[in-house]
Amino acid sequence: MIELTGVSKIFNEGQPNAFPAVDGIDLLLPSGEVTLFTGPSGSGKTTLLTLIGCLAKPSMGRIRIDGQAVSGLPERFLTALRRTTFGFVFQKFNLIHGLSVLENVMLPAAPLGLPRQQVMRTAMEILEKLDLTRKAHARVEWLSGGEAQRTAMARALINRPRVVIADEPTANLDSRLGSAFLQIIADLRHDGHTVLISSHDPLVLHAPVVERVVTMRDGRIVERG
């Protein structure tokens, strides 16, 4: 369960160009559900996901994960949460160029100190599920949009996170790949993952796998469903 109370993020706080990208959000996200954050561009979806995923700290308010307050924790604990609790699929994928698909996928496990063979086996299993076995040793800069996205998804899953966060996952995909992505989400849901997606793609908005829709505008929640 993720719990937000009065969460705000003000960019350039205290300066003339201060801007509240997220403005006083109260929200409850039960475990094991698929939630979609929707709303026009600039409404604060990405910013809110960064705050939930501990990639940035809120300017105000409190975030609790399974009852534990995380907003005030030192950086080191937030990093540990990013490593084990969250798996991110970034909008631009953020794969590291020059490395292979497999190497990218193994990267979040590097600091864990597990035997390399074991990490590699896990990575290959995930790649197989995502239909990427053939591409395991290809350099990521030569991947197609759909392959890059599934690589990013595989990397997000390597440390078996409870929460998977995907920012605008279908923005770079055609509708066929978009549907394939929704199937992956359904599988994650089935395996008990909590999934948070931001998107203004109607394909995602009307997908049956989405259980909960949070609509945002100007940093506030305008509708819950």
Ligand X SMILES: Nc1ncnc2c1ncn2[C@@H]1O[C@H](COP(=O)(O)OP(=O)(O)O)[C@@H](O)[C@H]1O
Does residue 72 bind another protein (CB under 8 A)? Answer: no
Instruction: Enumerate residues 6+ apart whose C-beta is below 8 A from 183.
Output: none
Element (H, E) at 146: helix 145-157
Select the residue interacting with ligand X from 38, 46, 85, 122 (CB under 6 A): 46
Sign of the four-CA dihedral 37, 43, 46, 49: negative
Measuring CA to CA, which residue among 185, 197, 91 is closest to residue 129? Answer: 185
- With CA atoms as reference, report the closest residue to 163 among 75, 37, 65: 65
Spell out a b/e string for 15-43, using b for 16 or more CB atoms within 10 Å of the CB, else e. eeeeebbbbebebebeeeebbbbbbeeeb
Classified as helix, coil or strand, 203 is helix
User: With b meaning 16 or more CB within 10 Å and e meaning fewer, what string describes 199-221?
Assistant: bbbeebeebebbeebbbbeebbb
Interface pick for Mg ion out of 8, 38, 43, 46 (rule CB under 5 A): 46
Closest contact distance (angstroms) between CB of 72 and Mg ion is 26
Q: Which is nearer to ligand X, 102 or 197 (CB)?
A: 197
User: CB of residue 152 vs another protein: minimum separation in angstroms?
Assistant: 10
Return the residue of 90, 149, 185, 204 that touches another protein, per CB under 8 A. 90
Task: Closer to another protein by CB, 14 or 208: give it.
Answer: 14
Binding pattern for the stretch 156-175 against another protein, x by CB under 8 A and - elsewhere: ---x-------x--------
Question: 50 or 71, CB closer to ligand X?
Answer: 50
Binding-site member from 76, 192, 206, 225 for another protein (CB under 8 A): 76
Least CB distance from residue 133 to another protein, whole Å? Answer: 21
Q: Report CA dihedral (124, 161, 219, 56) to the nearest 10 degrees.
A: -100
Look-up of token digits 């392959």: 147
* # of chain residues touching Mg ion (CB under 5 A): 1
Phi, psi of 216 (to 5 degrees): -120, 150
Among ligand X, Mg ion, another protein, none, partner that 19 touches (CB below 5 to 8 angstroms by kind): ligand X
Choose the contact partner of 21 out of ligand X, Mg ion, another protein, none; CB within 5 to 8 A by kind.
ligand X
The residue ranges that bind another protein (CB under 8 A) are 46-47, 49-50, 55-57, 75-76, 79-80, 82-84, 88, 90-92, 94, 96-99, 103, 107-116, 155, 159, 167
